[in-house]
Structure 1
């Protein structure tokens, strides 16, 4: 019998900001710190071209090269990263470039891709740690809808001769090689930092945010989650996101071409501050907004970031994490309050975090009514199956200590977010 969530002990960090590394973690760092990782843009492009095998056309018609230089400069300006992190980010840039090359080639060969309709998507919009992951994975249990599993988000456009769909082939065991790579990386992460599963388990089949696709255009906030890059944050916030969300739609069209259906389930916290571009791109979307006490969002986020920093950074600065993410959550929520009414009330619902604990079926009924789609008995059964198999705290619960670890009280953090509590049904935690 599988253990229930109640059988798994709570996770209580006593070394969050002064980490005591495991043997595996020490070995990983010792191995990776011996070689300095370089970010030469010409070398990055050459590697991507070699991997793609389709030429060097990046489809750069709107300043992609400038964004690439800004992206790399932000990483290079980060002085506290371990070589492990620099290597990971370098691989990520090459991967994004390779996928962009493959996408440009795919659309050149199949121009009908850009005529594919992305029909009436569900979009989940809310802060990290507010229930967005739970809700999007639940919605993805409906087989009539297309979602983005983590393995696909990391390598969305298969290189020639890899992947599945349109002549691309799996390996001899019938497994997409992109899935195999994602599983290998996940297994390595679980060996080095197993408690990550309790905070945000990105296993290969887990449904991921489409901002990973938006980063094929180097136009998302994702880099902020990997490094301390306020310069990139400011650069990203200055971009005209309407054209970048149009690029996101093009990636979704390509993925639909490779593997349907064409009715998508999407989600990202970034949409909170980009509701205008989101709705301009997907005007027939039905949107589920999730809301949670900003204190709970911030303390969960910075605890996860602090734990990750034991491998990502040469030191952990709890004060920096508190200040940065408190200041970052504020404009995300302010923009959400300001622009909430851009989404028509008959095609949107607001969900308090406290409602995602046994009331999901009623919320799904309301959301599907907004979209004009019925929940069939089969789909209802699949929803219940997902809920039964994924109780809250499935991998254990993290115990948070805001004062001890970060030197702040909940009251101090909460006082600046009155505007958010005034607008939505949010309960202090």
Structure 2
């Protein structure tokens, strides 16, 4: 039975439920220090460690704290959420660097021939990643492991649902479903959900992920101005650590990864992962934008004092355009023999077919066992979280047709992707 589409009719003027009101009231009584010293001190107390590695991360931590601390539109609940994220990344940094110090052989591990999905957010990248992750020949990054790559001192890392890190992630997901009940329909965040490797740049205070957490134009400009190679190398080295931690298990060694950020970092991606196979998903940018801004606006009912509908639209239209301009400019830097373009509309009609095509590029055989795993996942996860109905013009005041004209350069660069055939 098909689920009824969800339409969030109070997007601009939220009508909060009892749980949401209670959370905001509790948060208003808390004192929140968005301060690097406070965050680092708490991380040191939590881990018993103090080796932070390369001190360059501190400048980035200071920038984020200063930008978010000076944002008077944030609710106290939003400030708590942002501080918790920086504390999580800081704690992970200490734990990661301790493992690298104790076991320098970790960095000798090779991340070979990964399959990497790139594409706009909300363009099928998540489904494609999770589908390929169902193939047990490939190694993937579940959400719980991306949030806490290394267990806390004294914890037993079982690597399954009994792992304390998994259980913390499960508790957070249950809380998020109570606080923002439509979130699962837009972007599932259950612990076993396969997540983006950009989370592994977080302990180095890196990636465009912070832009999704809060309005962060200063962070965006800093990110634009830097060569991101060092961040990708950091992420690669955390992947090595994850392999090393389960070196005695039968878990696969060949990674399947994905991140929309890769669209604007294709030269860097290929510099750090020169033997990768890259699958780039393509979708009408207007559909992407209406999905992204609706999801962001829905979250702002708790994170901000008022929902910034116009600001959200302006920011993410520009952000999507930047991603696509970079993709058009740099697409040719990924060799044809190592890449494939995946149209969203065709992907959702026959997702397993497109995985087979990706496997052909990656020189990975489509065995009967692998195809069975893919088919099982595809059937089990078809519309499992429901659908959201969007109204870009009614809620954000912009005509989809008028907005689409802005992206003519993208449609012209990939005519075969958007052809009806």
1:28 aligns with 2:23: yes
On the 8 A contact 2:144/2:165 being kept in 1, the answer is: yes
1:56 aligns with 2:46: no
Structure 2 counterparts to residues 378-393 of structure 1, below 5 A:
378-391=369-382, 393=383
- Say which of 250, 264, 281 aligns to 1:273: 264
Give the superposition deviation at 1:161. 2.1
Give the superposition deviation at 1:38. 1.1
Structure 2 counterparts to residues 325-336 of structure 1, below 5 A:
325-336=316-327
Give the superposition deviation at 1:163. 4.6
1:81 aligns with 2:74: yes
Query: Deviations along 1:107-144, whole A, 9 cap, x unmatched?
Result: 11111100101010010000011000000000101111
Match in the other structure for 1:202? 189
Give the superposition deviation at 1:45. 0.8
Match in the other structure for 2:64? 71
Q: How far apart, in 2, do the equivalents of 1:315 and 1:174 lie?
A: 38
The answer for unaligned runs of 5 or more in structure 2 is: none
On the 8 A contact 2:61/2:205 being kept in 1, the answer is: yes
- Say which of 216, 223, 238 aligns to 1:236: 223
1:344 aligns with 2:335: yes
Match in the other structure for 2:41? 46
Match in the other structure for 1:422? 412
Q: How far apart, in 2, do the equivalents of 1:122 and 1:157 lie?
A: 24
TM-score by length of 1: 0.94
On the 8 A contact 1:198/1:395 being kept in 2, the answer is: yes
On the 8 A contact 1:37/1:87 being kept in 2, the answer is: yes
1:162 aligns with 2:162: no
Query: After the TM superposition, which parts of structure 1 deviate over 4 Å for at least 4 consecutive aligned residues?
Result: none
On the 8 A contact 1:288/1:367 being kept in 2, the answer is: yes
On the 8 A contact 2:35/2:62 being kept in 1, the answer is: no
Q: How far apart, in 2, do the equivalents of 1:12 and 1:40 lie?
A: 38
Q: Could you say what the CA RMSD is over the residues aligned between the two structures, in angstroms?
A: 1.5
Give the superposition deviation at 1:357. 2.0
Aligned residues: 414
Q: How far apart, in 2, do the equivalents of 1:70 and 1:426 lie?
A: 40
- Say which of 295, 309, 312 aligns to 2:303: 312
TM-score by length of 2: 0.96
Q: How far apart, in 2, do the equivalents of 1:90 and 1:258 lie?
A: 28
Give the superposition deviation at 1:365. 1.6
Q: How far apart, in 2, do the equivalents of 1:174 and 1:235 lie?
A: 38
Give the superposition deviation at 1:180. 0.4
Give the superposition deviation at 1:358. 3.0
- Say which of 352, 364, 368 aligns to 2:359: 368
On the 8 A contact 2:161/2:167 being kept in 1, the answer is: no
1:353 aligns with 2:363: no
Q: How far apart, in 2, do the equivalents of 1:174 and 1:161 lie?
A: 18
Match in the other structure for 1:11? 6
